[in-house]
Chain A
Amino acid sequence: GQQVMQIPQYQHVQEGEDFTTYCNSSTTLSNIQWYKQRPGGHPVFLIQLVKSGEVKKQKRLTFQFGEAKKNSSLHITATQTTDVGTYFCAGNFYNQGGKLIFGQGTELSVKP
Chain B
Amino acid sequence: DAGVIQSPRHEVTEMGQEVTLRCKPISGHNSLFWYRQTMMRGLELLIYFNNNVPIDDSGMPEDRFSAKMPNASFSTLKIQPSEPRDSAVYFCASSPGQGISTDTQYFGPGTRLTVL
> Taking A42-B109, A48-B102, A50-B102 as contacts, is the C-beta distance between A98 and B43 under 8 angstroms?
no
Among candidates B43, B55, B56, residue contacting A43 with C-beta atoms closer than 8 Å: B43
| Cα separation A41 to B3 with both chains bound (whole Å) | 14
Q: Which of B48, B97, B99, B103 has the most CB of A within 10 A?
A: B103
* B100 and A101 contact, CB distance less than 8 A: no
* A99 and B45 contact, CB distance less than 8 A: yes
Interface residues on B, range: 20 to 34
> Taking A50-B102, A97-B100, A98-B31 as contacts, is the C-beta distance between A42 and B108 under 8 angstroms?
yes
> 1/0 per residue A43-67: CB within 8 Å of B?
1110010100000000000000000
* A98 and B101 contact, CB distance less than 8 A: yes
- Residues of A50-105 whose CB lies within 8 A of B: 50, 88, 92, 94, 96-105
Summed over the interface, the residue pairs from A and B with CB atoms below 8 Å come to a total of: 61
> Taking A96-B101, A98-B100, A99-B56 as contacts, is the C-beta distance between A42 and B107 under 8 angstroms?
yes
* B45 and A100 contact, CB distance less than 8 A: yes
- Is A21 part of the binding interface, using a Cβ–Cβ cutoff of 8 Å? no
| Cα separation A101 to B41 with both chains bound (whole Å) | 13
- Is B34 part of the binding interface, using a Cβ–Cβ cutoff of 8 Å? no
- Is B104 part of the binding interface, using a Cβ–Cβ cutoff of 8 Å? yes
**Contact partners of A41 in chain B: CB under 8 A:** 109
Q: B interface, by DSSP: helix, strand, loop or mixed?
A: strand
| Cα separation A8 to B19 with both chains bound (whole Å) | 35
- Residues of A1-48 whose CB lies within 8 A of B: 30-31, 33, 41-45, 48
Q: Which of A31, A98, A100 has the most CB of B within 10 A?
A: A98
- Is B73 part of the binding interface, using a Cβ–Cβ cutoff of 8 Å? no
7 contacts between A and B (CB under 8 A): A42-B110, A43-B91, A48-B102, A97-B50, A99-B45, A99-B99, A105-B42
What is A's interface to B at a CB cutoff of 8 Å? 30-31, 33, 41-45, 48, 50, 88, 92, 94, 96-105
Extra pairs beyond A98-B95, A101-B45 (8, CB < 8 Å) = A42-B91, A43-B91, A45-B105, A92-B101, A97-B100, A99-B99, A102-B44, A105-B43
